Amino acid sequence: PLATQLVMGTSIVHAGALGGFLALILFVLPGFIVLTGVGLLVESLLDPENPPIYLLGIPPATVALVFKAAYSFGSSLDKFGIG
């Protein structure tokens, strides 16, 4: 989000609200296109009923990373040393 906020803030200052919106679209659109294309490609190549063994660890790893980020964020907000 930081890079997106920087792009929007800079473009709003220099080109107004419409420029900020256009910069946001042009900043986000390439990643959206690439990720959507890769997702569709993977979906067409893999059988959802029998996924490769190396892909089975991705959902638990994703959940672990989200919990780690939430814990780190919560720990940084803990001013009283409760947690």
> Can you give the C-alpha Rg of the chain in angstroms?
19
User: What's the pTM?
Assistant: 0.58
Q: Is the pLDDT of residue 82 over 80?
A: no
* pLDDT digits 0-9 by tens, 1-24: 688 889 999 999 999 999 999 999
Q: Residue 65 above 80 pLDDT?
A: yes
pLDDT at 68: 95
Q: In terms of Cα–Cα distance, which of 8, 6, 27 is closest to 18?
A: 8
Confidence check: pLDDT of 79 > 80: no
* pLDDT surpasses 80 at 59: yes
Mean per-residue pLDDT for 42-59?
A: 87
Q: 83: which residues sit within 8 A by CB, 6+ positions away?
A: 74, 75
